[in-house]
Structure 1
Amino acid sequence: MSVSPSRALAAALLVLLSACATSRPAAQTEASAQNPARQALRRLVEAHFEEQFRRFPLAATSRGLHTYDDQLAGFTAEEQLAWVDFLKKELTALPQQVERAALAPLDRADYDIFESNLKARILELEQVRGWERNPNTALGFASGSVYQLINRDFAPLEQRMRSAVARMSRLPEVFAASRATLKNPPRLWTEIALQQAAGTRSLFAETLPQAFAPVKDASLQESFKKEQARVLAALEDYVRFLREDLLPRSNGDFAIGETFYRQKLAYEEGVTDDIDTLLAWGRSELKHTQDEFREVARRIDPSKAPMDVYRELGKEHPTPAELVPTTRATLETIRQFLVDQHIITIPSEVRAQVAETPSFNRALSFASMSTPGPYETRATEAYYYVTPPDPTWSAEQTEQHMSFYNRYALQIVSIHEAYPGHYVQFLWTNKKVDSKVRQLMGSGSFSEGWGLYTEQMMLEAGYGGTGLEGDKLKLNQLALYLQRLARYMVGLSLHTRGMTYEQAVRFFEEEAYMTRVNAEREARRGTSDPTYLVYALGKKMILELREEAKARWGKDYSLQRFHDAVVSYGYPPVPVVRRLMFGENEPAFGQPGRQEP
């Protein structure tokens, strides 16, 4: 999912935030709005997104801006490198045009996030260079270019079909550009791309024709069929290239290395700890969680081994056909608990829609939340995606996959993705945040850390009750936390300590107690998503923030006050959230190699 934000601006109001409930000023003062530094910052930010959306139409569509829906660009090496040059110019211009010290706290946070985001994008494009190393990039680009047009009813279907046809006419160029750009990818990435290609083919061969079937314009249907044939032919050529040409010479290393890894953490998450320190905490937390897992399993059934207890719970799952309706009912139960127990304010009665994960995105996702972009004015629905088993799988593979959605784990996953996790985050950001920076430039450790934090917090608050049923929920919460802790350790180790893919698979199996098929999925993701440690890292920082709030607020502390304050800013890195919550004028974050106070 994407990450995002809100706020009001004077230091006095930040003091007020610390002094009274969770009230936040609805609008900023006229004086702060007229601040020249603030105006200069907002002009730079607006210019940045205008240029980004012009160069990368898919980004515009995904954010809910439909000016460029019939266009396709940003897929060549030349365009990527030109964008790097533009970002560097912006980075140079920022301190020249905006006096950071003259900004109010909220705008100063925007400045810091914007600056670090520019650095992160430059690092990714110029140094990590996934765009020229990962053959799955072209497949994702092709799928996203059209799926965004059918996923939401933001315009008449015929209009969206015309945009899809226009984009499809350029997709053979996308595959050709990828063939020309790719340089020595890791063999595993090429294998993943070959697997993902089946979902891409299904999208163009089956999903799109079904989506556009109601359109009566015969000429448009004919144009669609023509471009569909061209895309499928280009896709087949690309798959042949992957299998026969690229795969035999795919000998690259997926690891980005310690230097780039630390820079990513600093720029994206505001975390400057060294790798050894991060690994030491991970090992300690993993052992503690494993010990707790064994203790809870013993309470459920002392006659069985802990993993046998857990696997037994995995058998209590819906059928594939029942997955969506069961998930929908689960969301309502959880939401009502939030209201009854005053856990957090829910700023809207609108529900997220539960649906199956798109076929082209199933290889790397069990469950996810897809929310509309901040520019969207019509199709404002959000989707909670759950992934059904592949119909070609054996009965054993299907059973392993569905065990992930057992009736206890499904509740924990739904807490993370929807209530009070990502969907509630989205609602706060959508309704309370007026900053493009905090709407469009988010922090993974805050977004995913919040989702993971809520899993534990809800059980602490009494969700699920006590006794045997409570223990069964707790065992699944701990199992899912072990999975995220394994991501934490594997992400660090794959990219900075020489861990192999097979070692990563074994780590998920042995340390997080995952089945083979799910361990492979997690390890595959880790090779191309280096910082998927953000779940456990963010939870750690939010728990620390909660303890600090308790100490600072004393008798005025409440869970709802803390939660409303935390999510009211959007999706900034947790160090920025802390700075804003407590009204402290700390130094800018994001300098690798330097510890923050």
Structure 2
Amino acid sequence: MSDAKFDSVVQEYFFELVRREPVYATYLGIHEYDGDLPRGTRDHFEGNIALLREFKEEIEEINPERLSREKRMDWRLAKHMAELELFKLEELRMWERVTWVPDVVGEGIFLLLLRNFAPLEERLRSISSRMEQVPRYESEYRETLSSPVRLWNEIQVESSRRLPLLFKIVESVAVNSNLSASEKEEIREISKIASEAMERHAKWISEEILPRSDPEFALGREKFEKLLRLRGIGLTSDQILEIGERYLRELKRVKEDLARKIDPSMKADEVLQRIKDHHPKDFREAIKKYKEAVEEAKKFV
């Protein structure tokens, strides 16, 4: 009975999750929602938190000792996943700190374009539907990005500006497909509208978000320690730092040993600079040096 209850709780959560996150559904190979993009509103993310919290509570109400051996393992994994994802959504709150628009839109289209799970024309229709929703998704996310981090959103400006290149690829693929002339024209028009939405998004980030963004992005010790624990690393941040510093010292010793073998009269940094001075400056020069080495080898043979 407990196994059946556990399966029911997991399935109910999973199917609601993929309904709310259609791009994730596509990633998992579930194609019922291939024509959709998720909501970008604050309510959407708060709803995901509520859904996950309810799932965690229902999982914890199940006594793992009453489950079969296989389900006890699944129960531990489900509980761990819920704790980690809740921490990400409730405490890290990345969805408030960096815009997900170019990532979600790009992945949602790229997966359908790349994976050959259905006829091309069927996938193009789903892509067209997703591109048509880009302006809505972009507009909704503006209310969500409330605590922006500068560096992360600077990267997203560039991503937003480059995404229309993917839309152009979709147009090109559609032209060479078996879609009707009207469907091809519709994709071209939708691509233009989606591109304009992404240009607006890049401009909005540049002009309105970056000026008020926070240059600091570190989690802080308390949250970082919790993240390490939830991920099952088994080490504290101080222990990880100690390991890193030990490896750094060892690598410096290795570098010094190698430098002495090359030229005992020079320091390691001096040897490194000498190597750089004799290194090709660019790819073209590297090819030239390679050809010269091949010719020398031929003469030797």
Instruction: Give the TM bin, normalised by the shorter chain.
Output: 0.7 to 0.9
Residue matched to 1:78: 43
Q: Is the 8 A contact 2:228 2:236 kept in 1?
A: no
CA distance in structure 2 between the partners assigned to 1:146 and 1:170 by the alignment: 12
Q: Describe the superposition over 1:449-469 as per-residue Cα deviations: whole angstroms up to 9, x where unpaired.
A: xxxxxxxxxxxxxxxxxxxxx
SS at 1:65 equivalent: coil
Residue matched to 2:98: 134
TM-score scaled to structure 1, two decimals? 0.43
CA distance in structure 1 between the partners assigned to 2:113 and 2:79 by the alignment: 34
Residue matched to 2:26: 61
Amino acid across the alignment from 2:77: I
Q: CA deviation at 1:310?
A: 7.7
Q: Is the 8 A contact 1:175 1:234 kept in 2?
A: yes
Residue matched to 2:236: 274
Q: Is the 8 A contact 1:150 1:211 kept in 2?
A: no
Matched, 1:118 2:91: no
Matched, 1:100 2:64: yes
Residue matched to 2:165: 202
Q: CA deviation at 1:195?
A: 2.1
Change (3 A) 1:112 1:291: farther
SS at 1:67 equivalent: coil
SS at 1:273 equivalent: coil
Q: CA deviation at 1:102?
A: 3.6
Q: CA deviation at 1:183?
A: 1.7
Q: Is the 8 A contact 1:60 1:66 kept in 2?
A: yes
Q: Is the 8 A contact 1:133 1:182 kept in 2?
A: yes
Change (3 A) 1:108 1:233: same
CA distance in structure 1 between the partners assigned to 2:95 and 2:247 by the alignment: 34
CA distance in structure 1 between the partners assigned to 2:38 and 2:137 by the alignment: 9
Q: CA deviation at 1:108?
A: 2.9
Aligned partner of 2:115 among 152, 161, 164: 152
Change (3 A) 1:64 1:310: farther
Residue matched to 1:214: 176
Matches within 5 A, 1:315-464: none
Change (3 A) 1:99 1:288: same
SS at 1:180 equivalent: coil
Residue matched to 1:508: none
Change (3 A) 1:250 1:95: closer
Aligned length: 280
Any unmatched runs of 5+ in structure 2?
287-301
Residue matched to 1:182: 145
CA distance in structure 2 between the partners assigned to 1:314 and 1:121 by the alignment: 47
Q: Describe the superposition over 1:219-249 as per-residue Cα deviations: whole angstroms up to 9, x where unpaired.
A: 1111111211111111111111122222222
Q: Which has the higher helix share?
A: 2
Q: CA deviation at 1:313?
A: 11
Q: Is the 8 A contact 2:39 2:140 kept in 1?
A: no
Residue matched to 2:212: 249
Q: Describe the superposition over 1:59-94 as per-residue Cα deviations: whole angstroms up to 9, x where unpaired.
A: 010111111111222422111100100111111111
Q: Is the 8 A contact 1:57 1:68 kept in 2?
A: yes
SS at 2:9 equivalent: helix
Q: CA deviation at 1:312?
A: 8.8
Q: CA deviation at 1:281?
A: 2.0
CA distance in structure 2 between the partners assigned to 1:245 and 1:169 by the alignment: 25
Q: Is the 8 A contact 1:184 1:252 kept in 2?
A: no
Q: CA deviation at 1:272?
A: 4.5
Q: CA deviation at 1:212?
A: 2.5
Matched, 1:42 2:7: yes
Change (3 A) 1:244 1:214: same
Matches within 5 A, 1:300-311: 301-302=262-263, 305=268, 307=272
Amino acid across the alignment from 1:72: L
Q: CA deviation at 1:37?
A: 3.8
SS at 1:209 equivalent: helix
CA distance in structure 2 between the partners assigned to 1:151 and 1:296 by the alignment: 46
Say which structure, 1 or 2, has more relative contact order (CA 8 Å, 6+ apart).
Answer: 1
CA distance in structure 2 between the partners assigned to 1:237 and 1:198 by the alignment: 9
SS at 2:142 equivalent: helix
Residue matched to 1:528: none
Matched, 1:292 2:254: yes
Q: Is the 8 A contact 1:184 1:251 kept in 2?
A: yes
Change (3 A) 1:111 1:175: same
Q: Is the 8 A contact 1:61 1:69 kept in 2?
A: yes
TM-score scaled to structure 2, two decimals? 0.83
Change (3 A) 1:298 1:109: farther
Amino acid across the alignment from 2:205: L
CA distance in structure 1 between the partners assigned to 2:32 and 2:175 by the alignment: 24
Aligned partner of 1:90 among 43, 46, 55: 55
CA distance in structure 1 between the partners assigned to 2:47 and 2:58 by the alignment: 17
Amino acid across the alignment from 1:254: F
CA distance in structure 2 between the partners assigned to 1:308 and 1:63 by the alignment: 49
Amino acid across the alignment from 1:42: D
Aligned partner of 1:240 among 203, 212, 217: 203
CA distance in structure 2 between the partners assigned to 1:166 and 1:235 by the alignment: 16
Residue matched to 1:109: 73
Q: Is the 8 A contact 1:142 1:171 kept in 2?
A: yes
CA distance in structure 1 between the partners assigned to 2:52 and 2:102 by the alignment: 26
Change (3 A) 1:119 1:311: farther
Q: CA deviation at 1:311?
A: 5.8
Residue matched to 2:194: 231
Any unmatched runs of 5+ in structure 1?
1-35, 316-394, 403-597
